[in-house]
C-alpha cells in the first residue's frame, strides 16, 4: 500500500502532493513501483496536528479517487470521518482506513453499503492530544500485544454488529500511535501472535521514529534502511499489507525475500 498524503503538514512529506496533477502523478508512480493500493489521506496524523473538517478533507481529495479508480487503480481513503469516507466510496474507493477506533460502527455501515473493506487501526484517541511519536509512558501497557488486541476487538465487534463481513475487516496495530518505541518494536517482533487471530494485518512502519530509537537521530526521509528491515520482519511475521512511502525499495526487498524462499 503506497501512501499519498494530500496534506500540507504530514510528518514526512507534507506539502508535496497538494495539487491534483502532482498527486495523480505520484499515485501512478506508486503503482508502477509495485503498490497494490494507493492510500489517500487529507488529514495529517502527526502528533499535535489540528483536526481537519470534513469539508476541507473532501476539497483536498477532490476527484482523485474517481480518476484513479477509472484507471483501475485500487484506492483507500485514510480518514476517520464518515462524510469523507462516503465521498471517496461514491467515487470508487475500495477501502476505508481509519486511524481511530471510535467511528468503527459508522464506518462499518458505510463500507458494508458500498461493498468495500475497512481497516481499523488501534490507537487511544486522536493524535492531536499526543505530545509526540514514541512519547508514551512505558507503563501505559502491561502487555502491549494483548491489550492492543483486546481494545481493538471492542471496535471489531461494533463493526461486525453493524453488518460488516468480518472477512472485509483489517487489523492495524497502530505502530507509534499512543505507543513508545519499545511498545512498537514489541508489536513488530510479536506480530505473529496477532496474525493467528483471524483478521488480515495492515501495518504501517514507514519512516516512523521508533525505527531509529536505537540509532542516531535522523529525519523521516532518512529512515529507509530501517523501514525496509521492519517491512521484512513484519512480512515474515504475518503482515498481509504494508503501508509505506518508499514503495519501490520495499517491493524490491520483498521480491528478493520471496526469491530466496524458493531456493
The residue annotated as part of the active site, out of 105, 156, 179, 243, is 243
Residue among 174, 167, 38 nearest 112 (CA): 167
Whats the size of the chain, residue-wise? 263
b/e for 110-139, b at 16 or more Cβ within 10 A?
bbbebebbbbbbbbbebbeebeebbebeee
Cβ proximity of 93 and 77 under 8 Å: yes
Type and span of the H or E element at 27? helix 20-33
29 catalytic residue (yes or no): no
**What CA–CA distance (Å, rounded) separates 125 from 258?**
37
105 catalytic residue (yes or no): no
* Cell numbers linked to 84: 469523507
**What CA–CA distance (Å, rounded) separates 90 from 73?**
15
Residue among 182, 99, 171 nearest 136 (CA): 182
Cβ proximity of 109 and 86 under 8 Å: no
Q: How many CB atoms lie within 10 A of CB 193?
A: 14
Q: What are the backbone angles phi and psi of residue 150, rounded to the nearest 5°?
A: -65, -40
The residue annotated as part of the active site, out of 105, 179, 207, 208, is 208
* Cell numbers linked to 102: 471510535
Name the residues annotated as catalytic: 208, 243
Amino acid at each position: 500500500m503506497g501512501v499519498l498524503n494530500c496534506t500540507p503538514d504530514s510528518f514526512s512529506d507534507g506539502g508535496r502532493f497538494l495539487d491534483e496533477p502532482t498527486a495523480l502523478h505520484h499515485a501512478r508512480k506508486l503503482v508502477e513501483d509495485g503498490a497494490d493500493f494507493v492510500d489517500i489521506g487529507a488529514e495529517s496524523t502527526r502528533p499535535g496536528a489540528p483536526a481537519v473538517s470534513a469539508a476541507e478533507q473532501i476539497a483536498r481529495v477532490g476527484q482523485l479517487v474517481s480518476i484513479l479508480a477509472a484507471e483501475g487503480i485500487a484506492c483507500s481513503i485514510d480518514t476517520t470521518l464518515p462524510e469523507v469516507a462516503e465521498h471517496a466510496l461514491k467515487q470508487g474507493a475500495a477501502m476505508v482506513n481509519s486511524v481511530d477506533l471510535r467511528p468503527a460502527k459508522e464506518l462499518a455501515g458505510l463500507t458494508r453499503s458500498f461493498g468495500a473493506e475497512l481497516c481499523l487501526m488501534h490507537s487511544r484517541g486522536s493524535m492531536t492530544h499526543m505530545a509526540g511519536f514514541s512519547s508514551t509512558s512505558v507503563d501505559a501497557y502491561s502487555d502491549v500485544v494483548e491489550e492492543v488486541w483486546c481494545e481493538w476487538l471492542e471496535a471489531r465487534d461494533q463493526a461486525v454488529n453493524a453488518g460488516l463481513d468480518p472477512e472485509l475487516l483489517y487489523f492495524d496495530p497502530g505502530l507509534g500511535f499512543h505507543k513508545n518505541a519499545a511498545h512498537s518494536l514489541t508489536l513488530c517482533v510479536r506480530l505473529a501472535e496477532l496474525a493467528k487471530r483471524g483478521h488480515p494485518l495492515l501495518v504501517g512502519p514507514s519512516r516512523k521514529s521508533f525505527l531509529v530509537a536505537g540509532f542516531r537521530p535522523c529525519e523521516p526521509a532518512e529512515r529507509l534502511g530501517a523501514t525496509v528491515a521492519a517491512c521484512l520482519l513484519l512480512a515474515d511475521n504475518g503482515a498481509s499489507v504494508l503501508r509505506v512511502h518508499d514503495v519501490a525499495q520495499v517491493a524490491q526487498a520483498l521480491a528478493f525475500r520471496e526469491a530466496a524462499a524458493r531456493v
